[in-house]
Structure 1
């Protein structure tokens, strides 16, 4: 269940209340006239099944509540209520399958902003991965992949394509490309420094690396894993199962490939530089493709489910 807290202009409150009352899957409706001060208006609260939330939020935006008042949505961790159970039963579909497009767009917008924190995380992750590839240390590679924040703009780009938000798509792509560019440039400098103090050597980079050699040798398995990870990551975002994102992060070799390319570039090793760059681009392409197709499939399946539910309800009403 989700909890909605609305601030509505007094002349819109009745419309909002009627909308909530006729939306299947809502309960615990509370109206507090004149309670809001900034902006001034009434406060309306209700609980809604996740399956019905996207439609309700869209209808509220059609009433311009997001412009004249506010719409706040919170997850309810525990709701002990027979009415809540009934609302969830009446709502069409399954909660885990429902996509809150407004929430997804908001979440990916935040994760797709080229901020100092984002650049710092991706740079640190790339530097950690650089240590991992030179030392052929799988633990450092896994740690670097977990630290890397690149899935945010990848998910943002996929969401923007499906929702046709060109500004979000541009913001996500800028964050992705600029973030990796800065991280790789800094890692080249880091590699020069580590070589100067004797901690990195070209012999280590050129040696057989059974644990990390794959990062500059892309193949079809790289693309397959990227597609599978992109699908899993997108599902984890749309179903609010964020724990799965950790597994996604350590399944793809975007950050290690960028790190290997940077270190190889510092030593003038064009073969490893190009191989690592190909690995990076292949992974990015696979994740974007999988994320976009997953969101399109979810949108289509949910629309079909809602249409079927509406037809069944119309037949039941006719009888």
Structure 2
């Protein structure tokens, strides 16, 4: 169930109410006229089945509500309502499968923004990965994977392609390039300092590392794992079930590869640099492709469902009349 609060100018209120009136996916509809001071206007509160949220938002957008008012969308985590249950039952599809595109797009914009927090997490994760490689610790590699903030910007590239958001694509691409560039640069400086202090020797980088040698040894499985992990990650981001997202972070070798690139540069080990860079490119490419494909399938499925929902609503209104 989704709760939608709409602030609308008075001249649009009746048209907004018509969008929701008598629709089988609506469980609650109320209006308080003149309640909003900024922007000035009326407040409409409505509870709708998650599966139908996109149709309503598209119709509100066509009416011009976002330009002249506001639309707030809040997931209802718990509710006790017979009418709410009936609205969910009448609406085609499952709530957990529904994609609320406005919510997904806003999250992609927010978490793809290039800021100091993002750069700090990227740098710390890359430094942790570099240490994990030096001491050959799989536990620290996993920690670096979880700490890295790069998944949402990578998924945002696929979302931008599916939803045709050129600005989002540019923001996400810039964040990834600058983020990895800054993190690798700072990790390289740290590795040079550690080398000068004698804390890290060449053998630590080039010697046997059975626990972390996969980082600079990409193969077909690197791409396959990235595709599967990204598909699962996108489903976690777009559906009501987010439990699998941490598993995605642990599955992809992006931050560890960046950490090994930094070590390779600091110690002048060419095969470490090329192998890790290829691993990084393979993982990001697989994730972008899988993210785009998963979102494209979801959009196609929900477009067809939206048509069925409109027909069902029309039949319900016709029967009532």
Q: Structure 1 regions of 5+ residues with no counterpart?
A: none
Question: How far is 1:310 from its partner?
Answer: 5.0
TM alignment of 1:92-241, pairs within 5 A: 92-241=92-241
- The answer (yes or no) to whether the contact 2:128–2:141 under 8 Å persists in 1 is yes
- Aligned CA distance change for structure 1 residues 159 and 61 (closer, same or farther; 3 Å): same
Question: How far is 1:78 from its partner?
Answer: 0.8
* TM-score of the pair, normalised by structure 2: 0.96
**Partner residue in 2 for 1:77:** 77
Question: How far is 1:312 from its partner?
Answer: 6.4
TM alignment of 1:6-85, pairs within 5 A: 6-85=6-85
* TM-score of the pair, normalised by structure 1: 0.96
Q: Structure 2 regions of 5+ residues with no counterpart?
A: none
In structure 1, C-alpha distance between the alignment counterparts of 2:294 and 2:181, rounded to whole Å: 28
In structure 1, C-alpha distance between the alignment counterparts of 2:164 and 2:109, rounded to whole Å: 14
- Aligned CA distance change for structure 1 residues 229 and 124 (closer, same or farther; 3 Å): same
SS in 2 for 1:23: coil
**Partner residue in 2 for 1:281:** 281
Question: How far is 1:301 from its partner?
Answer: 1.6
Question: How far is 1:318 from its partner?
Answer: 8.6
SS in 1 for 2:114: coil
Number of aligned pairs? 319
Question: How far is 1:20 from its partner?
Answer: 1.1
In structure 1, C-alpha distance between the alignment counterparts of 2:176 and 2:142, rounded to whole Å: 20
In structure 1, C-alpha distance between the alignment counterparts of 2:72 and 2:206, rounded to whole Å: 55
In structure 2, C-alpha distance between the alignment counterparts of 1:92 and 1:153, rounded to whole Å: 31
Q: Over aligned residue pairs, what C-alpha RMSD do you find?
A: 1.6
Question: How far is 1:67 from its partner?
Answer: 1.1
SS in 2 for 1:281: helix
**Partner residue in 1 for 2:89:** 89
- The answer (yes or no) to whether the contact 1:35–1:43 under 8 Å persists in 2 is yes
Question: How far is 1:306 from its partner?
Answer: 3.3
